[in-house]
């Protein structure tokens, strides 16, 4: 909706309102996870332990290890930008994708471990919490490193990060 409103209708907001809106868009997956998943978890007889820890550690690992490793050491955008589409897909998958998924796996493995996985849905809940933590950091890095990006581009980037990380 944000993309359509900004691209086709041409809504122009004041700069201060737009920067706040962009920040809310970046935090939207986290806000929705808290509203629909975390609060619902508090109303069950035996809530899952460690969801907040999983989210927080994933965010910290993304900010401390994942994003700097991909952006400063591997730098796939420098050497994959001029390649063909299949080469870029495999290149990003084998560089940024492996780093992201390995970090999320290690956080889930060591926070929840086998003791917290009672039913199959528990693993999904922990992996979603880890994905939300990681994508929140990616969203914030994008917003702060691309200050000229409008709400339309930020909404597409948030959708992209959300779909890739949750999948």
Q: Please write down the HEC assignment for all residues of the chain.
A: CHHHHHHHHCCCCCHHHHHHHHHHHHHHHHHHHHHHHHHHHCCCCCCCCCHHHHHHHHHHHHHHHHHHHHHHHHCHHHHHCCCCHHHHHHHHHHHHHHHHHHHHHHHHHHHCCHHHCCCHHHHHHHHHHHHHHHHHHHHHHHHHHCCCCCHHHHHHHHHHHHHHHHC
Distance CA(99)–CA(102), nearest Å, equals 5
- Distance from the Cα of residue 99 to its chain's centroid: 14
Distance CA(88)–CA(77), nearest Å, equals 9
User: Can you read off the two tokens belonging to residue 61?
Assistant: 């690992």
- Distance from the Cα of residue 76 to its chain's centroid: 18
What's the predicted TM-score (pTM) here? 0.91
Q: Is the pLDDT of residue 30 over 90?
A: yes
User: Can you read off the two tokens belonging to residue 5?
Assistant: 């409103």
Name the average pLDDT for the chain. Answer: 91
Span 103-154, pLDDT tens digits: 999 999 999 877 888 888 999 999 999 999 999 999 999 999 998 888 989 9
> Quick one: pLDDT at residue 148?
83
Query: Residue 54 contacts by C-beta under 8 Å, 6 or more apart in sequence?
Result: 107, 108, 111, 112, 126, 129, 130, 133
pLDDT class of 81 with cuts at 50, 70, 90: confident
pLDDT class of 27 with cuts at 50, 70, 90: very high
Nearest to 139 by CA among 59, 69, 56: 59
């Amino acid at each position: 909706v944000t993309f359509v409103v900004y691209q086709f209708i041409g809504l122009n907001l004041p700069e201060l309102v737009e920067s706040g809106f962009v920040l809310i868009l970046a935090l939207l997956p986290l806000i929705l996870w808290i509203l629909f998943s975390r609060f619902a978890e508090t109303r069950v007889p035996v809530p899952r332990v460690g969801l907040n820890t999983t989210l927080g550690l994933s965010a910290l690992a993304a900010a401390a290890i994942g994003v700097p490793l991909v952006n400063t050491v591997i730098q796939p955008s420098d050497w994959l930008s001029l390649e063909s589409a299949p080469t870029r897909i495999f290149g990003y998958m084998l560089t940024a994708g492996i780093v992201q998924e390995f970090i999320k796996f290690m956080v889930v493995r060591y926070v929840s471990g086998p003791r917290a996985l009672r039913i199959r849905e528990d693993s999904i809940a922990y992996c979603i919490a880890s994905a939300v933590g990681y994508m929140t950091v990616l969203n914030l890095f994008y917003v702060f490193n691309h200050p000229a990006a409008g709400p339309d581009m930020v909404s597409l980037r948030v959708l992209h990060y959300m779909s890739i990380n949750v999948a």
